[in-house]
Structure 1
Amino acid sequence: MAQGRCSAMAATVLLCLLSLHIESARSATFTVGGNSGWTFNAAGWTKGKRFRAGDTLVFNYNPSIHNVVAVNRAGYGACKAPKAAKVLSSGKDQIKLRKGQNYFICNYIGHCQAGMKIAVVAA
């Protein structure tokens, strides 16, 4: 009887691992801005793309002149990062999308206003 329980438990663990693998296989990686990277006039880059929760956005940029800040809708509209916002500045930042609206800006003076911001809706 103990052997039967072990087999059932092994099958359950295998099914769980398989479902995790399938879920991760469905996520995609997108390089923001394509070959140009994270730069000015990026706002239109999302057009025609379908994003899902768990997809990864890769922000490639020169870290001495740009950064990436995840903001809320108000911060996106006003081009202003909240005080507690996490500022990423590696030049090769990767961010997993959460379900719903995701907003990102560069908070260097004038950059967001010049179009260095994106709004991504993840299903």
Structure 2
Amino acid sequence: MASNQFIAFALVTIILPTLAVATEHIVGDDKGWTVNFNYTAWASGKVFQVGDTLVFNYQPPHNLFKVDGDGFKNCVPSGEPTISGHDIITLKSPGKKWYICGIGNHCSELGQKLVINVVGSEAPAPTPAAPATPTAPAPPNAAYGLAASCYQIFVAAVAVVAMIVA
């Protein structure tokens, strides 16, 4: 019986952290991929990591182009658009990613464009800063929140497995 509990615990310890790390980002939240929406504000404060997904929900005539920095800056689509109305893009590599709508002036004048920065699975170590004057402690950052959430999921999973095995 103890070996069954150990096996269950080992499986939860190995598998659960990999499942809990990826985040699904619904672009534009309940507004979706549309015109007259501030995607810069939407993306600010979010951490996009390799393995996360972007979900673009939209209605025709909108479409979605993944472009380079120049295509983004000049609102020039390239390649073939995706037009499903529910496009899911997995972020596979770190770096800047640019997306635009290629319909008329949707990108250039109506703001239907998104740029994000994807960080690798291992965030680089922060550069040490010069000591500042003492201030109140900073609030927990997004990485702390993610770690706390993963811990809570882990503890809940262990409790469920323990109840099943017992």
TM-score normalized by the length of structure 2: 0.58
Give yes or no for the alignment of 1:65 onto 2:61: yes
- 2:18 is matched with 23
In structure 1, C-alpha distance between the alignment counterparts of 2:67 and 2:19, rounded to whole Å? 26
Q: Within 5 A, what are the aligned runs for 1:1-123? A: 18=14, 22-40=17-35, 41-44=37-40, 45-62=42-59, 64-82=60-78, 85-97=79-91, 98-113=93-108, 114-123=110-119
4+ residue runs over 6 A deviation: none
TM-score normalized by the length of structure 1: 0.77
RMSD: 1.8
**2:49 aligned counterpart, secondary structure:** coil
- 1:10 is matched with none
Which structure is larger by alpha-carbon Rg, 1 or 2? 2
CA deviations on 1:12-49 (whole Å, 9 max, x unpaired) are xx99xx46x63343110010000011112242210111
Number of residue equivalences: 104
| Unaligned 5+ runs, structure 2 | 1-9, 120-166
| Unaligned 5+ runs, structure 1 | 1-13
Q: Per residue, is there more helix in 1 or in 2? A: 2
